[in-house]
A and B are shown apart, each in its own frame.
Chain A
Amino acid sequence: MRLLSTVGLGLLLALLLRVPARAQDSLLAELSRQLPDSASRAPVLATFKGTRIINGHSVETPGNGTLVFLISHRFGRLNSGAYNLFGLDQATIRLGLEYGLTERLAVGVGRSSVEKAYDGFVQYRALRQRPGSLPVSVTLLAGAAINTLRYSPTDDGFEHTFPRRLTYTWQALVARKFSPSLSVQLAPTVVHRNLVQENTDPQDVYALGFAGRQKFTKRMAFTWEYFYRLPGSRTAGLRDALGAGIDIETGGHVFQLHVTNANTMIAQQFIPTTSGRFFKGDLYFGFNVARNFTLKPGI
């Protein structure tokens, strides 16, 4: 019995000594044990800086209730000489508005100076990358554009009826953020044109887009994109669209500066009709500026 009391006293002492030393930590530890680990299941944020990588869309959509005003500008060819101030004398421009109807669904409209085209699109974030459960984000996009140039009957022999002026894009954007600094995107794309110049030109152009972002500081990143047109969708004399640039983020703006071999800014135009030879200096310097406006505050 004496043995029992001694052991008991010893245990009691140990118990009394241990409790105050560990209680503080264990209370927090107990709390974290009880909590569902919601933080690690949250979808990955900011795979790309903006809704565009260069010309192409990214998996990002404007947040719920956010309106993005997008100014996209491409100067002329850098190799056009001092006479054209290396392209600065010419410019093509697209003005766009994009709005997040919900966190996942977004709509956009734009107007390009090339073909005086108006375009519209709907974008849906079908899947969002989650650590441990889903490796990629997927955004689906469908868009249409209309060429509103005035044609005289003698221009090209076609009557430019309303349906003939339309072009469409369907895109699946599949992206993965490998680390806080590296994101990569694949974009299988179909562009359909109701009217093409030559009988031999494909009406449906199939392309596979590749794009990436590598951050080198918290607010600056190197970006690139390449749209490979599949065999059967290639027209002699035309080239795959290629671009490289940097993203600079400030408070409410994202500035994207880049060079591309395309001077058009919607998929219906730059995928099937790019002609610049990137590595021969047919480069267009350009920029996108995105300004966000909150129409529906989050709290």
Chain B
Amino acid sequence: MRYFTGFLLLALLLGYRPGTAQPTRYQTRAGTVSFFSASPLEDIEARSQQLAAVLDTRTGQLAFSVPIRSFQFKRSLMQEHFNENYLESEKYPKATFSGRLVDWKPEMLAAAGAVPVVAEGDLTIHGVTRHLKVPGTLTPLTGQLLLNASFSVAPAEYNIDIPALVRDHIAKSVLVTVRLPCAPVAVATSASQP
């Protein structure tokens, strides 16, 4: 019995879990994030395809990160202003999210279609971190997990200062759409994490 306990503990310490065969890490480096704001003068729209994300389907934990410089605008001058004056990408090169799926159960992966989920966590933009709760959907596809979410972000809440001269041209809140097609990654890397 003692030997058995010892072996069991050893096995646990070495990271052995019966579920190891099932991938628990899903990841992408080419997620899409876009934002849109309508304003009287002209709509502002930008897109990045360099959103990196990782989802742990065992715990429901989720993180993503996007380089600010990767956002593409219709107008190159707008893109320059976005980086130089609004998001200050030299100082704050990334926007990140770190959180988890609320009430997550790994069985949700067995669903046939889109499952409604809620992500809760910290969104950091322009060096300002705010806690938020975002509804979205999770769709298990063959060999992939697709996470979709839309939420609105108010530039003012992230200390993004908009001068009086152009205040009327920029909407008070911006609709952000995130699309993460995550593929499974080998679990060995996650087991070795502390």
Contacts and interface: CB of A to CB of B under 8 A. Distances in A.
B9 A9 contact: yes
A82 interface: no
Contact of A40 (B85, B93, B169): B93
A175 B80 CA distance: 18
A11 B59 contact: no
Given A8-B6, A28-B63, A45-B84, A250 B98 contact: no
Contacts of A39: 67-70, 89, 93-94
Contacts of A28: 63, 65, 96, 98
A31 B53 contact: yes
B63 A15 contact: no
B74 A294 contact: yes
Contacts of A32: 65, 94, 96
Given A27-B62, A31-B54, A1 B93 contact: no
A26 interface: yes
B93 A8 contact: no
Nearest to B12: A12
B156 interface: no
Given A28-B98, A39-B69, A180 B90 contact: yes
Nearest to A66: B76
Interface in A164-181: 180
Interface stretch (B42-50, B103-111, B145-153, B173-181): B42-50
A109 B91 CA distance: 37
Interface in B48-66: 50, 52-54, 56, 59, 61-65
Contacts of B112: none
A22 interface: yes
B75 A35 contact: no
B76 A31 contact: no
Interface residues of B, number: 58
Contacts, number: 139
A9 B13 CA distance: 10
B21 interface: no
Interface string A22-40: 1111111011101100111
Interface residues of A, number: 47
B164 to A, nearest CB: 11
B77 A66 contact: yes
B85 A8 contact: no
A116 interface: no
A207 B174 CA distance: 49
A35 B73 CA distance: 23
B142 interface: no
B72 interface: yes
A218 interface: yes
A22 B59 CA distance: 12
Contacts of A66: 75-77
A132 B72 CA distance: 24
A298 B72 contact: yes
Interface stretch (A57-65, A88-96, A227-235, A256-264): A57-65
B166 A251 contact: yes
Contacts of B56: 23, 27
A70 to B, nearest CB: 14
Among A22, A34, A65, the one with the most B-chain Cβ atoms within 10 Å of its Cβ is A34
A24 B69 CA distance: 25
Shortest Cβ-Cβ A-B pairs, 7 listed: A63-B76, A39-B93, A8-B9, A28-B63, A39-B67, A297-B74, A28-B98
Given A294-B75, A299-B45, 10 more contacts: A5-B6, A8-B5, A8-B6, A27-B61, A30-B63, A38-B50, A39-B67, A64-B76, A294-B77, A299-B72
Interface of A: 1-2, 4-5, 8-9, 11-12, 15, 18-19, 22-28, 30-32, 34-35, 38-40, 42, 44-46, 62-66, 100, 180, 218-219, 250-252, 292, 294, 297-299
15 contacts: A5-B6, A8-B6, A9-B9, A23-B56, A23-B59, A26-B194, A35-B52, A38-B67, A42-B69, A44-B90, A46-B80, A46-B83, A63-B77, A63-B80, A298-B73
